[in-house]
């Protein structure tokens, strides 16, 4: 049984036969000086076998907060062997102008417990390119930013879901009570029009929520507190 825990923003612990941690954030106090709020609880006491970093921004790359001496794949593209088997790292951009404003971003794709997952980091392109879609391939689960600003917003995120046809979608990187500089997920939910499960916790058991490629489930996790 695969278990997912959301720590806020784009940060997840995915647990099955092995554990994968994605995009850990560290001390975010510097945002307050710019009038931005980031009040998710700190990451403490977490270990992983594999640690993935999609890009080198402070809310995604605090590898020092994760224990267990994980293998780290950090802001890279290619095909790699890891504790969970093959990981495909797809080059992408953090903005709509070929990465010239916010830099590169990595889309990670891997299989755990027989389920095919992809995490899009801070994907900010206007749309998914054909070669990126081909490299990602078929998916069971997609973790996707939907809050606009430095990433794709609702309409573009919905188009990505329709292109990739996952069975389960977990929105991330959107406005909550802890974050004030992104849009809420409502535009994405309306644009996609799929079945939504609004959960009372920041954790879920994946197999219980899997839909189909034709009728996916969107799992809206409760923000951690």
Ordered by start, the domain boundaries in the chain are 3-220
**Ramachandran angles phi, psi of 198, nearest 5°:** -95, 110
Looking at the chain, the number of H-run helices and the number of E-run strands are 3, 16
Distance CA 79, CA 89 (A): 6
Alpha-carbon Rg for the chain in angstroms: 16
pLDDT at residue number 126: 86
Q: What is the DSSP string of 72-97?
A: EEES--EEEEETTEEEEEEEEESSSS
| Model pTM score | 0.95
Distance CA 21, CA 57 (A): 16
Distance CA 14, CA 221 (A): 14
pLDDT at residue number 60: 83
Q: Let me know if domain 3-220 sits in CATH 3.60.15.10.
A: yes
Distance CA 51, CA 133 (A): 23
Taking only the tens of pLDDT, the chain with its 225 residues reads 899 999 999 999 999 999 999 999 988 877 767 778 899 999 999 999 999 999 888 888 999 999 999 999 998 899 999 999 999 999 998 766 665 666 689 999 999 999 999 999 999 998 999 999 999 999 999 999 999 988 999 999 999 999 999 999 999 999 999 999 999 999 999 999 999 999 999 999 999 999 999 999 999 999 998
Distance CA 129, CA 171 (A): 20
């Amino acid at each position: 049984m695969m278990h997912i825990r959301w720590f806020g923003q784009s940060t997840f612990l995915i647990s099955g036969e092995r554990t994968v941690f994605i995009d850990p954030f560290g001390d975010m106090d510097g945002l307050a000086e710019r009038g931005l709020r980031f009040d998710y609880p700190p990451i403490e006491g977490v270990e992983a076998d594999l640690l993935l970093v999609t890009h080198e921004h402070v809310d995604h790359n605090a590898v020092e907060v994760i224990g267990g001496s994980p293998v780290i794949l950090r802001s890279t593209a290619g095909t790699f062997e890891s504790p969970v088997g093959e990981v495909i790292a797809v080059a992408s951009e953090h903005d709509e102008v070929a990465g010239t404003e916010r830099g590169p971003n990595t889309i990670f794709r891997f299989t755990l417990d027989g389920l095919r997952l992809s995490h899009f980091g801070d994907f900010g392109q206007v749309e998914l390119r054909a070669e990126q879609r081909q490299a990602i391939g078929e998916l069971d689960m997609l973790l996707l930013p939907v809050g606009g600003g430095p990433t794709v917003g609702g309409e573009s995120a919905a188009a990505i879901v329709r292109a990739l046809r996952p069975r389960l979608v977990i929105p991330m990187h959107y406005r909550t009570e802890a974050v004030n500089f992104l849009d809420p997920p409502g535009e994405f939910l309306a644009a996609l029009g799929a079945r939504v499960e609004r959960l009372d916790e920041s954790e879920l058991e994946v197999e219980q929520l899997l839909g189909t490629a034709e009728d996916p489930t969107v799992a809206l996790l409760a923000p951690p507190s």
